[in-house]
Structure 1
Amino acid sequence: MFRHPGKHTLIALALASAAVTAQADTFNRIATFANIHNLPAGSDVTTETSAEIIAATHDGNSLVYSDSPLGGIGFIDIKNASKPKPGGFVSLNGEPTSVAVTTNTVLAGVNTSESYTKPSGKLVSLTLTDHKISQSCDLGGQPDSVAVSKDEKYVAVAIENERDEDLNDGALPQLPAGFLTIFPLKNGQPMCDQMKKVELTGLAAIGSEDPEPEFVDFNDNNEIVVTLQENNHIVIVAAESGKVINHFSAGSAELTMIDTKKDKAFDFSQTQTRLREPDSVKWIDSDRFVTANEGDFQGGSRGFTIFHKNGDVMYESGSDFEHKVIATGHYPDKRSGKKGNEPEGVAIGTFGDETYIFILSERASMIGVYRDTGKAPEFIQMLPSGIAPESAVTIPSRNLLISANEKDLIKDKGPRAHVMIYELSDKEAAYPQLISQQNSEGMPIGWGALSGLTADPKTAGKLFAVNDSFYANQPTIFTIDATQKPAIITQAMTVTRNGKPAKKLDLEGISIDGENGFWLASEGNAKKEVPHAIYHVTPNGEIDKTINFPASLLTHQQRFGAEGITQVGDTLWIAIQREWSDDPKGRVKLLAYNLKTEQWGAVHYPLEKATSGWVGLSEITAYNGALYIIERDNQLDENATIKQLCKVNLAGLKPAPIGGKLPVVTKEQVRNFIPDLKSLNGYVTDKIEGFAIDASGQAFAVTDNDGVDDSSGETLFFAAGQL
């Protein structure tokens, strides 16, 4: 369904265009490979792994990635791209920093440094047929990026000799200086005794005596582009001679409408001029290259730049890429004070007649897809990635894009590191499923951590959602137009107390009150002095009534409290997430509060038995004589087994006084959400938290992305059928 675009819907429409138009330039994720499946035999499944720099074999059937925590490189069999298989792991007795592939070898840079002041490393060659180490060259320093020329005549290695960021606040210089090495290749093997060492000192205006080359790439003329990230400089080197043929400052970019404060709230009213400090770089053609401007020491311009090799800026994304990240709900507020979404990786691929540019955002866990036009690139879509995409590779012959995602959160019981595979086809874009437009002032609407959902009783497709305490300084009610695809957040209303953003809230549930206001359920946390309570807010978001939990309940309180609220006549029903101290194991309370008599009552809801972790409730919604309840475990990915919608009939449901024996309800499973959570071919998220049924009887569900903190940031928002 299309509507005439208003002046504040442009970002939303740009993001939505790929989703509403079936065309042969849309990428969708078709598979996810967890690195733990490549652990060496006998390894503990909790062993930390990573997928950092990734490459593909020339036949397009195998992937190779560097795994720094595990100290080696992993292989993945993608003959069937939708069902990747482990291809083995090879230890390199050091820290691999990058990999590149020739027709018959894998070349890996390996860091063997004793310390920051005594850097060392080697370039290791492995044969693709048997994965055996066949050559090792001393690099004379700590390597970072490795690249092979397209004609396979040369391999270049950036010797970063990285600085100690804890020494003198990471300020340059910190010697020894970095440099570039170039080796001739013979049958894919580096000729160690013919290494060229290209000195890069004396070029940059920043830290001239201490260059730290970060990333290298070859064009068709065997010219090497090198980024000096901390030095904010770019160098062009001729591979054959090893001579510097040009160099120039990476410059700066002006950013408008950005958030610069880490404060559990969104405020995109700031303007800054920031050094680009580019990380990854890739040639688009023989004259142009694109940089991902992650930043490191003093900069980070939150976007990407296309340069001509003569130093001219041909395109600057400015704040546009960051705004697209914000609109998809992936903006990482925790990085606001530094580098925002932090674009780190770049990939280039020519599919048929079209060349695509892929920009990887480390902190937002997103990939921006653009079509090269020779001038300003054309935005195509945003793709979801695993946590912290470090690099990507394209296989145009198979219409594939692959991302390597380095973050493994096993120590925090979070998602593992993954490699993700995407395919170009004529199918509609499956993601994002929910986006935001600009507000009335033209600012992006920031959103995330959606924890509760309710529907307008009169207008089909009109929904409301709340965020949880991740945004403690900006509790918000969002208006969602679910008639669009993707659905669009059209408004964001701050919940206030005495006209200011309300504090001490952890909003987990929302319900329409029937008079244009809302009931909100706040989950308490005694350690943070957040009370378990119910709040009524006016149509403009002001709290005008507070219903505190009674002492008979609070005597037994636990951290996991109210997770949903719904109104049935004069009664508010509240779902408590987990057992409190007076509940039998495996039973949680559904609280009932009568608005007229102000009396509390409760019933017990029987939980499924957890196979690991815990099981609890996430939402409660009244519809057509029944309560619909989300019951879930707290498990991720392959360990997730319970993500379900259950129905409890209201007929005969009689709450008993709190403190006595409570009746146990009978539940009926209505929907298993796990197929829905697998539908995007990523890992299964743990938090499906919002559910609502609109005026037409259409059900909707939404997941909580944890504010993109220890999360991929993905929000699944989907229709769940007629009920």
Structure 2
Amino acid sequence: MKNFGIALVTALFIFCSCENDKGNDNNENEVSENVSSFKEVGTITIGGEAAAEISAYDETTKRLFTVNNSGTNQVDVIDLSNPMSPVKIGAISLTTYSGAANSVSVYGGKLAVAVESTVSKQNYGKVLVFNTADLSLIKEITVGALPDMVTFSPDGKYIMSANEGEPNADYTVDPEGTVSIIEVNKDYAVTTLNFAGFESQLTTLRTKGFRVSKTAVSFAADIEPEYITISADSKTAWVTLQENNGVAKVDLASKKITSLFGLGYKDFNLAENAIDISDKDGAIAFNPWKVKGMYMPDAIASYSVNGTDYFITANEGDAREYGSYKDVERLKNLNLDATIFPNASALKADASMGRLNLISTEGDTDTDGDLDELISFGARSFTIWNGSTGSLVYDSKNDLDKRSNDLGTYDDARSDDKGSEPEAVVVAKMGKKQILFVGLERTDTVIVYDITNPAVPQYLQSIKTGDAPEGLLFIPASKSPNNRSLLVVSSEGDGKVKFFQPDLL
């Protein structure tokens, strides 16, 4: 992607008002920050692998709550009053609840924790709500199987959880994937929605790239919600259905799933989408290849520009691997149509396309037992979509991989899989600008863009993080413990939480 006007953006003044002065333009306490200059100011290690996945911040207590499943299942409590010297001060154990945390969210002195059952992932999960000050339990709420993500609505009236509903190891039990809506002000009354009502639309959805496994017990059971974003007005939510290559739109007032969007395919044979496809070619080389990618997004964020809603996806990709069942296979082990791929033998070489992991159950368009199309996992990009129609507005093409390579963090060993592997996206309003942070799990990098114009994002900065960044959290200056914007990056590979701030102007 070309770097349009970076000098102007680098000089951008960011104005963040104090919380007590919201809406009062005459009394704003303004902080001027250089949005292109985030630097690490602090770090804390809370454990080993899987120790630091997702974090949430409580501005009242100046505490950070971070999922820690590296040893016992718990949420660690970190004093963040000084971001340059964070200190772990406690933990909330989840062993009492026979569960393990997957996600956390905070609003108004309340901490919501998404908890999967440790008895069986296929059992109903829970959302636990704790007081952020004394860590006491406020409410225990039953939701669908395997709640993978939880979030408060911006107005604090709702808690939502994405309940993935993964099958067991031998695929004999596959609970329905669901979305739960919890009404905070109605004693945490919960409504859990499934996707059965959309089964009649499957034929149309398939034409738009929506994917349902050929071995699915049912349409509703095959849907696997992954991540949620809620609009600023707390009226609409969008939910990624990662393995299905789709996004669901939810109306919070009526508590109904109103739309399913199939996300289609990305053509890696276009020059602007060129990828490094082999981990055995002895080089990092971005070239066009005759293969498509299913977007299969993990994290999702949203924002509004001039009254139009947009959602943004981190197009990670994900295989289904349960016991003996798997839908991933290297290209060299699959049969290719001889007419469409007359050079199949050459393509199957390790230094060519042979090492590429494909979705083995997709691409046989004429059902004759060989592949007519090559479909891979993920799009190696972030994408901005229209929130009403689900239509594509902008895709970052191969910019994430190339920026990682420029930074020296690109991992060639992942070229055959999903490249830099976009995992997380967060949008922050900074002054009059909308800033996007994209976390890349396999290149240990966060890349920053100005997305004020959703059709023409501008690259700002690349940031080196901890190992395998999983969760991104932006704390605006108005809520930050030191009145400066904070980017919090939680990395599950090394159990580190790192804190980044921009320079003052």
Output the CA distance in 1 between the equivalents of 2:241 and 2:227.
Answer: 8
Counterpart pick for 1:91 among 86, 90, 93: 93
Equivalent position SS for 2:238: strand
1:261 equivalent in alignment to 2:278: yes
**How has the CA–CA distance of structure 1 residues 60 and 128 changed in structure 2, closer, same or farther, with 3 Å as cutoff?**
closer
**Superposed CA offset, 1:232-278 (max 9, x none):** 01111011211122221122222333111122542322423201000
Matches within 5 A, 1:114-193: 114-116=119-121, 118-163=122-167, 175-186=174-185, 191-192=187-188
**How has the CA–CA distance of structure 1 residues 342 and 399 changed in structure 2, closer, same or farther, with 3 Å as cutoff?**
same
Instruction: Give the corresponding residue for 2:195.
Output: 200
8 Å CA contact 1:106–1:126 kept in 2: the answer is yes
Calculate the TM-score normalised by the size of structure 2: 0.72
Instruction: Give the corresponding residue for 1:684.
Output: none
Output the CA distance in 1 between the equivalents of 2:83 and 2:133.
Answer: 20
The offset of 1:120, in angstroms, is: 2.7
Task: State the identity as a percent.
Answer: 30
Counterpart pick for 2:443 among 350, 364, 368: 364
The offset of 1:31, in angstroms, is: 1.0
Instruction: Give the corresponding residue for 1:294.
Output: 316
**Superposed CA offset, 1:213-245 (max 9, x none):** 000111124211000000001111011211122
Matches within 5 A, 1:68-79: 68-69=69-70, 70-79=72-81
8 Å CA contact 2:438–2:446 kept in 1: the answer is yes
**Superposed CA offset, 1:486-514 (max 9, x none):** xxxxxxxxxxxxxxxxxxxxxxxxxxxxx
**How has the CA–CA distance of structure 1 residues 68 and 191 changed in structure 2, closer, same or farther, with 3 Å as cutoff?**
farther
Structure richer in strand, relative to its length? 1
**How has the CA–CA distance of structure 1 residues 163 and 320 changed in structure 2, closer, same or farther, with 3 Å as cutoff?**
farther
Output the CA distance in 1 between the equivalents of 2:384 and 2:164.
Answer: 23
**How has the CA–CA distance of structure 1 residues 424 and 331 changed in structure 2, closer, same or farther, with 3 Å as cutoff?**
same
The offset of 1:373, in angstroms, is: 2.2
8 Å CA contact 1:291–1:305 kept in 2: the answer is yes
State the AA in 1 paired with 2:142: D
State the AA in 1 paired with 2:426: A
Matches within 5 A, 1:319-718: 319-374=398-453, 375-397=455-477, 398-408=484-494, 417-426=495-504
The offset of 1:16, in angstroms, is: 13
**Superposed CA offset, 1:165-220 (max 9, x none):** x658xxxx97222111111003xxx835x211111242653223410000011112
1:108 equivalent in alignment to 2:113: yes
Equivalent position SS for 2:403: helix
Output the CA distance in 1 between the equivalents of 2:5 and 2:386.
Answer: 31
Output the CA distance in 2 between the equivalents of 1:114 and 1:223.
Answer: 33
Output the CA distance in 2 between the equivalents of 1:261 and 1:177.
Answer: 36
8 Å CA contact 2:60–2:109 kept in 1: the answer is no
8 Å CA contact 1:260–1:270 kept in 2: the answer is no
Equivalent position SS for 1:139: strand
Stretches of structure 1 that go unaligned for 5 or more consecutive residues are: 1-9, 37-46, 409-416, 428-723
8 Å CA contact 1:253–1:316 kept in 2: the answer is no
The offset of 1:399, in angstroms, is: 1.2
The offset of 1:66, in angstroms, is: 1.2
1:216 equivalent in alignment to 2:254: no
Calculate the TM-score normalised by the size of structure 1: 0.51
**How has the CA–CA distance of structure 1 residues 21 and 288 changed in structure 2, closer, same or farther, with 3 Å as cutoff?**
closer
State the AA in 1 paired with 2:459: F
The offset of 1:331, in angstroms, is: 1.2
State the AA in 2 paired with 1:257: A
Output the CA distance in 2 between the equivalents of 1:19 and 1:407.
Answer: 36
State the AA in 1 paired with 2:109: N
8 Å CA contact 2:56–2:64 kept in 1: the answer is yes
Instruction: Give the corresponding residue for 2:296.
Output: 277
**Superposed CA offset, 1:451-497 (max 9, x none):** xxxxxxxxxxxxxxxxxxxxxxxxxxxxxxxxxxxxxxxxxxxxxxx
Output the CA distance in 2 between the equivalents of 1:113 and 1:301.
Answer: 32
**How has the CA–CA distance of structure 1 residues 54 and 120 changed in structure 2, closer, same or farther, with 3 Å as cutoff?**
same
Instruction: Give the corresponding residue for 2:348.
Output: none
Instruction: Give the corresponding residue for 1:56.
Output: 57
8 Å CA contact 1:15–1:382 kept in 2: the answer is no
**How has the CA–CA distance of structure 1 residues 77 and 16 changed in structure 2, closer, same or farther, with 3 Å as cutoff?**
farther
Matches within 5 A, 1:3-82: 14=3, 24-25=34-35, 26-36=37-47, 50-59=51-60, 61-69=62-70, 70-82=72-84
State the AA in 2 paired with 1:62: R
Output the CA distance in 2 between the equivalents of 1:48 and 1:284.
Answer: 32
The offset of 1:61, in angstroms, is: 2.4
Backbone CA RMSD of aligned residues:
2.5
Greater RCO, 1 or 2 (C-alpha within 8 Å, sep 6+):
2
Instruction: Give the corresponding residue for 1:622.
Output: none
Output the CA distance in 2 between the equivalents of 1:128 and 1:115.
Answer: 28
For the pair shown, the structure with the greater C-alpha radius of gyration is 1
Output the CA distance in 1 between the equivalents of 2:77 and 2:310.
Answer: 32
**How has the CA–CA distance of structure 1 residues 19 and 262 changed in structure 2, closer, same or farther, with 3 Å as cutoff?**
farther
Higher deviation after alignment, 143-152 or 87-96: 87-96
**How has the CA–CA distance of structure 1 residues 20 and 49 changed in structure 2, closer, same or farther, with 3 Å as cutoff?**
same
State the AA in 2 paired with 1:293: N
Q: How many residues align?
A: 388
State the AA in 2 paired with 1:149: S
Higher deviation after alignment, 19-28 or 52-61: 19-28
